[in-house]
Structure 1
Amino acid sequence: MNAPAYFYPQPGRYISSGDSSPAAARFNVQAASAEAERLASAAGVSAVLASSVTASAGGCSEEQPVLPAVIEYREVLHPQGYVLEWNADGLRLAASTVQGLHYALITVQQMMDGQQGQWAHCVIEDEPAFPVRGVMLDIGRNKIPKMETLFAFIDRLSALKINHLQLYMEGYSFEYPQYAALFPEATPLTAAEYRELDAYAASRFIDLVPSQNCLGHMWPWLSKPEFRELAEHPDGMPTPFPFKMPPTTLNPVDARSSALAEELFGELLPNFSSGYVNLNMDEPFGLGTGASKPRADEIGVGGLYMEYAEQMFAIARRHGKKPLMWGDVLTHHPELVKQLPADVTVLHWNYDAPIPYEPHCKMLHEHAVRYYVCPGTSSWSSLSGRTDNMLANIADAAKNGKAYGAAGLVVADWGDAGHWQVPSVSYPGYAYAAAVSWQTEANLERMEPLEHHVSHRMLQDRSGKGGGLLLKLGRYYHLERCTIENNTYTSFLLNHGLSSLEQLEQDTAMLPRIAKLLGGVGTPFQLDYRYEELASWVRACQEEVLGLDLAGADADTVTDELLNTLRLIHHGARLHRYIHMQHSIDPQAEMLELGELQSELQTIGKEFERLWLARNREGGLASSTAAFRKLLQQYEERQRELHPHNGIML
């Protein structure tokens, strides 16, 4: 490694071509120049752009000349790879495509951000471990971001060298004009907005892949009288418990089901330039046990599923798209793997770290099935994440996906249980998934670079502590000492609401059986909640949030979101304590506690709504906050039981 030197790129005199051969014409020097100009003027680079500058080296000031960056076409390089060489002669970038140059320039920007333009001489030869590196963001459960939020999100993913994005949809997340009257509260994305997002993502080498469910997860449609009869179980799916599951699965043998899917895809797909579509096809609860049971008895549930899937594949092909589909049904019906057409990509998902990726990765590899591994951010149903589960889950997916030939790694960020998590909670999951899908072995155990990237580039935190704090916030669930699956107990309790201790114990005892019914492991429920430790942890974290030095355009919003998240965690802890001490305190003390709980939750709810509307559309907000309103009502009802004439108003 040579002595430090300086590099000061300058727009307008930044590019020269290092190859004039006929083959280099495919590189498109004009496009390469435009890409370099765009990234050179991006945030973090523009601060050091100048025709000449005065720099201090070794205590002496001297005029530093602007050195050119030479771009070289090199056909043998990976389509997404590059070579970066920095020495006394200047900067040389080699790539075989403009996309490869794009990633080279992102590395240039990161090095300049980290070293303020002063680099040691170096040579970097780089290419991704996974051709497809993606994020799936749930916009189907409550939270549909505003356009400016989505543009910023795409920019953030681009800086992570992500090249695949899905905005998962169920319900009325996309504006189908003929059905608008059925969803008057919705604020969906329009066709024109999706076309704008598609072009914006493509300009950053991100493939925006349409995603729409068409079998399971169809409750928002099947809840409408106009579609009720299309359900596998129109009156709800019977369960072993004293309740039915709502109708969520289409009846695959009813021709109107496939006709609805064809209509929805027919309006959605023309707005995307991607060659792919995610048909989803996951979790078809009750399939073959209701209206389609006679057909399932003839050909089996697996055969029934594949019969309908083939119709969906045909719809995708008619629009020039290759199908993606979640792989959970295949894990229960491995005989279907041999029937998969060659143009189908399986999305092999699993979000709980104790469940290994290897068996199904190995099976898909042995049958030459194209597939992606799809771990999760562990942010949903958690309030502030489950850090250690997230890290282990993503690492396991990356290691086994790499070992067994997965074509991609896509990290999922779902919106279960009200989509209460704020965006920054998912930043560590995005960054870690991006790191291990770009260079798997090199990044599996490297937490310091992960924290640095999240702090300095995602949060723009000048204190440098934000990344570590986000990882810390995602560890509060260890203070619950709870075995609940794909969830935290505090999040569950806030959604469950106020009840007697006896009723709560009955309901939590059912959780393992419910989890198993929905495809989980069914781990026996255990809980050792440490309230005092958790309350102390919340206070310490609040101080740490206030100690950050955020510089981004949304700095105040991020700070307020994290503080309100901590309020929500603390409220859940207080609710747990209240339920457990309810029968051991006198009515006056109980009234005081209820009043404080009510006031605290009112503050949380108002702040939650304000922050939601800062980033997201209003549709879905009422559904997301329904649990808050229910809990406030329960607080009021209990106070009236204790003092019928107290006149408390919400």
Structure 2
Amino acid sequence: MSVFLLPQPKSCMETKGSCKLSSGDYIVIEQEDKVELFDIAQNLQQCIFKSTNFHLSVHVINPHFPTEFIKKIRFERDNGLAKEEYKLTITPTGIRIEYGSKAGAFYAVSTLKQIIQQSKEIPCLTIHDEPSFPIRGFMLDVSRNKMPTLTTLYHFVDMMAELKLNHLQLYFEGVTFSWPSFVEHSRDTSTLTAEEIMKLDMYCEDRCIELAPMLNTFGHQEGWLTKEAFNHLAECPDGFTAPWGYQKPNTFNPLDEGTTSFFTKLIDELAPHFSSVYFNACCDETFELGLGKSKEHCDKVGVGQVYLDYVLKMYELLKARGKTMMLANDIILKYESFIPLLPKDIVILEWGYERDHPFEKECELFGKANIPFIMMPGCSGWNSIAGRTSNMKTNLLKAAEYGLEYGSVGLLISEFGDNGHWQNLPVCYPGLVYGAAVSWGPVENKEADVAGYLDRFIFKDENKKMGDFVLNLGDYYLLESELVHNNTLLLKILYADLLDMDALYSMSENNFREIEQYIDKLERNGLNRSRMTCSDSELIAEEFGHALLFLRHAIKLGRVKLLLKACQSSSKKLIVELEQAKGQLSELIHTHKLLWIKRNRMAGLTESLSKLERLRGQYESHISLLKDNKAETPLLENTNHF
């Protein structure tokens, strides 16, 4: 195909000739649809003017409208088309858009806009298109630790709309909304307000996107349970020991009526601001369930039964409020015999973020039980700084393919903010683009040109460098000594204490050198040679420069660890290396602060910086220790903790 389209349509046939527009042409919509289609027609009008400098008037037609004025672009309703189905016919004499609903017209215009932006002479073709999944969405973490401004969210919704996504979920945990019943806990934080959610909801609706809440109603609630006023509701008020170490209280006690009362208030004060019928109650990763206050009852009836009983309680609560509950897959999969006991109108979130996640096996289980489910792969941005491109693409594609095979009702692309939310928003753009493409049609879009779309329509890079740079940067992790689950080794090095040598895994100087050379070359040939013209081009360049600084500091820290581990360098050499590392880290922290406020609220910044500030303090302490130590080669007394 000579014209670039993403997502690729189900059917596209090119014919000879082209359609030329001029300022004397009209865009006409039918009278019965003028309320729904006027904004869509104006959107097309603005795109045409920006691309060609031609102004096409928008008119409403009826049976008496003079036929000589019905030319160039006409919207025609076809009630035989499905809700999101459309036909786009371009001939030398005009353009016809056929649709069955507002959504179909919107998606037809999205396709036409891509074509128009590429050439003033529009190639003649016929497109007949519809999505493979009815729900195609994105889940954005607005709790850990970045809370985007409303402007940032609007911008993101616009990108989603152009990619034909129709569902956005905002992930809430902790005090990230201004709940009236708990205003004293959110008064001093820049939380999302009811008014902002309603504004965003209407903004989404105008773009054929439904906005839904994702509120964890069981686990993942350290933000509430570490507060004195709510700690008594925790399963383990003093925390618990997880396989990876001590964990602060994370899960509510399901047997305490106070838990139900608490979440009833949260739901009743949050849900009404969202027009979507869906409410994602999550209930995932209830790690300590059965280890604390519910242990006796869990020992008696089983952890699975206690979990199911609580889920059903949340289900009834939401059903009474006219909401369809969404539930995470991970815990119920541990108790497969309970899957058939779930209500048939609950929707399972089939989440898994690795390239080898067993989607097929899990989809088959829910399919056999006649439980509707939505695939929930990820962007692979969190715990990575720059993404994990290869993992992301395989994970998204497998989710789409198995979802289609086993009858999934949708695909929800995920982007979380674990461990400080150090990655900047544009890191998720490749996953946004590829996920949107395969959720529209995994067969047609398996080889989707993600870099091409990023360069043409998001970065608007005249030199066509930025798309490849971002995708390739996201594969730095492939040069690490080994692959780790939902993480990268450079990030593990950054998270750990200075003298925690276990964080090195098997990383060597060769690994650090290869990654350093790799990202240096990418910066030189990609980022530095790009010529972005999008509205936030300077900020995007700064954000990826910040990502490079993060990665370089991880490399620097890794090399310092190797020196400390070897115990063969002189104190003088170590002091120099540590001073350099401290200076680089200080620059990183300063940049992190400056970039944070350009897309996000201040809330969460201090927590995001806490591990970096701790590391800077450890640099300072070890420098002082070395300066006070008279030995040429200081001994490393503790290889686990500083």
- TM score, norm. by length of structure 1: 0.89
Match of 1:232 among 228, 231, 235: 235
Match of 1:266 among 254, 264, 268: 268
Partner of 2:172: 169
Partner of 2:618: 634
Distance 1:16 1:486 in 2: 49
CA 1:71–1:182 in 2, change beyond 3 Å: closer, same or farther? closer
Deviation at 1:274, TM superposition (A): 0.9
Partner of 1:614: 598
Partner of 1:191: 194
Between 402-411 and 70-79, the greater mean CA deviation after superposition? 70-79
Distance 1:331 1:471 in 2: 33
Amino acid at match of 2:547: T
CA 1:239–1:120 in 2, change beyond 3 Å: closer, same or farther? closer
Deviation at 1:15, TM superposition (A): 1.1
Partner of 1:561: 543
* CA RMSD across the alignment: 2.1
1:2-151 matches, within 5 Å, as: 2-8=15-21, 13-17=26-30, 25=32, 28-42=33-47, 46-51=50-55, 67-114=71-118, 116-151=119-154
Amino acid at match of 1:258: T
Residues 382, 488 of structure 1: 8 Å contact kept: yes
1:334-373 matches, within 5 Å, as: 334-373=336-375
Amino acid at match of 1:495: Y
Partner of 1:536: 517
Amino acid at match of 1:555: S
Residues 249, 287 of structure 1: 8 Å contact kept: yes
Amino acid at match of 1:442: E
Percent of aligned pairs with the same amino acid: 31
Please give the per-residue CA displacement for 1:449-480, whole angstroms capped at 9, x wherever unaligned: 22111111121212112111111010110111
Residues 19, 91 of structure 2: 8 Å contact kept: no
SS in 1 for 2:463: coil
Deviation at 1:184, TM superposition (A): 5.7
Are positions 1:504 and 2:497 aligned together? no
SS in 1 for 2:420: coil
SS in 2 for 1:15: strand
Between 245-254 and 476-485, the greater mean CA deviation after superposition? 476-485
Residues 465, 530 of structure 2: 8 Å contact kept: yes
Residues 145, 615 of structure 1: 8 Å contact kept: yes
Deviation at 1:239, TM superposition (A): 4.1
Distance 1:222 1:277 in 2: 22
Residues 553, 581 of structure 2: 8 Å contact kept: yes
Distance 1:539 1:622 in 2: 30
Distance 2:426 2:39 in 1: 31
Distance 1:90 1:214 in 2: 53
SS in 1 for 2:561: helix
Are positions 1:570 and 2:552 aligned together? yes
SS in 2 for 1:279: strand
Distance 2:44 2:28 in 1: 12
Partner of 1:425: 427
SS in 2 for 1:175: coil
Distance 1:569 1:126 in 2: 42
Between 30-39 and 170-179, the greater mean CA deviation after superposition? 30-39
Distance 1:272 1:287 in 2: 30
Between 360-369 and 245-254, the greater mean CA deviation after superposition? 360-369
Deviation at 1:640, TM superposition (A): 0.3
CA 1:345–1:185 in 2, change beyond 3 Å: closer, same or farther? same
Partner of 1:209: 212
Residues 8, 67 of structure 1: 8 Å contact kept: no
Partner of 2:157: 154
Amino acid at match of 1:554: D
Are positions 1:384 and 2:386 aligned together? yes
Deviation at 1:319, TM superposition (A): 2.1
Between 103-112 and 8-17, the greater mean CA deviation after superposition? 8-17
Distance 1:229 1:388 in 2: 44
Between 414-423 and 181-190, the greater mean CA deviation after superposition? 181-190
Deviation at 1:291, TM superposition (A): 0.6
Distance 2:241 2:576 in 1: 42
Q: Which blocks of at least 5 consecutive residues in structure 1 are unaligned?
A: 53-64, 509-524
Please give the per-residue CA displacement for 1:84-104, whole angstroms capped at 9, x wherever unaligned: 001122101111111100000
Are positions 1:475 and 2:488 aligned together? no
Amino acid at match of 1:497: D
Deviation at 1:51, TM superposition (A): 4.9
Distance 1:248 1:165 in 2: 26
Residues 28, 70 of structure 2: 8 Å contact kept: no
Between 450-459 and 568-577, the greater mean CA deviation after superposition? 450-459
Deviation at 1:185, TM superposition (A): 5.1
Residues 9, 50 of structure 1: 8 Å contact kept: yes
Amino acid at match of 1:38: N
Distance 2:390 2:232 in 1: 44
Partner of 2:579: 595
Q: Which blocks of at least 5 consecutive residues in structure 2 are unaligned?
A: 1-13, 57-68, 631-642
Deviation at 1:268, TM superposition (A): 0.4
Please give the per-residue CA displacement for 1:607-648, whole angstroms capped at 9, x wherever unaligned: 1110011110000000001111011111111110111499xx
SS in 1 for 2:246: coil
Deviation at 1:175, TM superposition (A): 0.8
Deviation at 1:79, TM superposition (A): 0.8
Deviation at 1:12, TM superposition (A): 8.8
CA 1:231–1:14 in 2, change beyond 3 Å: closer, same or farther? same
Distance 1:39 1:424 in 2: 26
CA 1:205–1:444 in 2, change beyond 3 Å: closer, same or farther? same
Please give the per-residue CA displacement for 1:57-103, whole angstroms capped at 9, x wherever unaligned: xxxxxxxx995212121122121010000112210111111110000
Deviation at 1:199, TM superposition (A): 0.5
Residues 324, 347 of structure 1: 8 Å contact kept: yes
Residues 375, 394 of structure 1: 8 Å contact kept: yes
CA 1:51–1:409 in 2, change beyond 3 Å: closer, same or farther? closer
SS in 2 for 1:120: strand
Amino acid at match of 1:460: K
Please give the per-residue CA displacement for 1:429-459, whole angstroms capped at 9, x wherever unaligned: 010010001111011123xx22111111121
SS in 1 for 2:624: helix
SS in 1 for 2:539: helix
Amino acid at match of 1:301: V
CA 1:51–1:557 in 2, change beyond 3 Å: closer, same or farther? closer
Residues 240, 288 of structure 2: 8 Å contact kept: yes
Deviation at 1:10, TM superposition (A): 6.0
Partner of 1:57: none
Match of 2:287 among 285, 288, 301: 285
Between 92-101 and 291-300, the greater mean CA deviation after superposition? 291-300
Partner of 1:546: 528
- TM score, norm. by length of structure 2: 0.90
Please give the per-residue CA displacement for 1:209-237, whole angstroms capped at 9, x wherever unaligned: 01111100011111011111111111112
Amino acid at match of 1:167: L
Q: Report how many aligned residue pairs link the two structures.
A: 601
Please give the per-residue CA displacement for 1:142-181, whole angstroms capped at 9, x wherever unaligned: 1000111111111111111110000101001111144233
SS in 1 for 2:380: coil
CA 1:66–1:616 in 2, change beyond 3 Å: closer, same or farther? farther
Deviation at 1:41, TM superposition (A): 1.4
Distance 1:259 1:12 in 2: 61
Residues 25, 71 of structure 2: 8 Å contact kept: no
Partner of 1:513: none
Match of 1:254 among 256, 260, 283: 256
Distance 2:71 2:378 in 1: 43
Moved over 4 A (4+): 9-12, 525-529
